[in-house]
Amino acid sequence: GEQEKWVLMVTARTPTNIAVIKYWGKRDETLILPINDSISVTLDPSHLCTTTTVSVSPSFDQDRMWLNGKEISLQGGRFQSCLREIRARAQDVEDKKKGVCIKKEDWQKLHLHIASYNNFPTAAGLASSAAGLACLVFSLAKLMNLKEDNSQLSAIARQGSGSACRSLYGGFVKWDMGKEDNGSDSLAIQLADEKHWDELVIIIAVVSARQKETSSTSGMRDTVETSALIQHRAKEVVPKRVVQMEEAIQNRDFPSFARLACTDSNQFHAVCLDTYPPIFYMNDTSHRIISCVEKWNRAEGTPQVAYTFDAGPNAVMIARNRKTAALLLQRLLYNFPPQSDTNLDSYIIGDKSI
């Protein structure tokens, strides 16, 4: 009948985030609770972002999702956790123009269609899950009129993918590991907004656009089970670095920021190497990029560029300002010329932002 014809829709866009103090290791695999705090910078939404449209209609007979136009299964425990948590908090929704009135209890029976697009289809290993799960949770929260703030929503996104919780805010964000066993205090807090330190320029060198070999989820599980170094990192090293990084960000202290980001990336990869069997995320090109940046920073007498690498060989470089970023690109193009055996797949350049 008439009543069956309506569709309500919400579209949202969420950028990915890059950790400068890394998350690696869980204390609870189901709730996704980490063994240490982490700090990240959220990218500009014009680069590396996910756009998601969520819709609800009485004519939908099941929850369905499409990623980049291809239907994917929503059966995974992580999707189900997010959907369950959001439905449990859904509120009444009224759209007078469409003559639609949804009562909060109706959300338990209504089905959803979710369509999600990444604007970086080729660059595998560039934190697609972070933007994707954050965007899914945010758009559903808007559709269902949730009262929760972004921090509380981040605790739901966290259950989809750990790093996703940090994409609910722009600028600099801390994921507080929390103390509770139920995860209620394991959530994201904005340390500084996107305007606070807007001279920084982020350059991503795509060393390889191939899918990474070891997934983060299984990699960090193996690390927690087999590495002796990870306990030292989580208990002794990261807590101090988090305090120092917060200070560096507040003071826009680039030398401290760069030192902390680079050493933390290096320690994350050292812990991967300390895992048994060892995990290699960086390759020879990654190592050459590190050498190139380190050499330049030493020659200048003070850091010009920070580098950080996630669970893959791609380099994320943070230049202290636009002039430095231009010089960095020149150096990279000279040392890694396109169309050679050491070429990079591409460069992505962006600012930090919302």
Cβ-closest position to ligand 2P0: 162
d(CA 4, CA 59): 6
Among 271, 269, 297, which Cα is nearest to 283's? 269
d(CA 334, CA 340): 11
For CA atoms 58, 153, 238, 18, the dihedral sign is positive
Residues 219-278 that bind ligand 2P0 (CB under 6 A): none
Amino acid letter for position 241 = R
Q: Does 163 bind ligand 2P0 (CB under 6 A)?
A: yes
Q: Does 31 bind ligand 2P0 (CB under 6 A)?
A: no
Q: Looking at 14, 161, 167, 324, which residue binds ligand 2P0 (CB under 6 A)?
A: 161
| Residue 42 and residue 194 in contact, taking contact as beta carbons nearer than 8 Å | yes
Q: Which tokens hold the place of 331?
A: 């150096």
Options 109-117, 159-167, 206-214, 270-278: segment touching ligand 2P0 (CB under 6 A): 159-167
Residue 183 CB neighbour total at 10 angstroms: 18
Q: Looking at 12, 19, 155, 316, which residue binds ligand 2P0 (CB under 6 A)?
A: 19
Binding mask 275-314 for ligand 2P0 (x = CB under 6 A): -----------------------------------xx---
| Residue 279 and residue 221 in contact, taking contact as beta carbons nearer than 8 Å | no
Q: Does 216 bind ligand 2P0 (CB under 6 A)?
A: yes
Options 85-93, 107-115, 155-163, 227-235: segment touching ligand 2P0 (CB under 6 A): 155-163
User: Measured from the CB of residue 113, what is the shortest distance to ligand 2P0 in angstroms?
Assistant: 24
The conformation of residue 335, written as its DSSP 8-state character, comes to H
Residue whose structure tokens are 């009543």: 3
Q: Does 208 bind ligand 2P0 (CB under 6 A)?
A: no
With both helix axes pointing from N to C terminus, report the angle between 128-143 and 150-157 in degrees, rounded to the nearest 10: 120
Do β-strands 93-95 and 100-102 pair in parallel, antiparallel, or remain unpaired?
antiparallel
Q: Looking at 14, 15, 16, 23, which residue binds ligand 2P0 (CB under 6 A)?
A: 23
Q: Looking at 25, 45, 162, 170, which residue binds ligand 2P0 (CB under 6 A)?
A: 162
Q: Which residues lie near ligand 2P0 (CB under 6 A)?
A: 19, 22-24, 32, 38, 129, 161-163, 216-217, 310-311
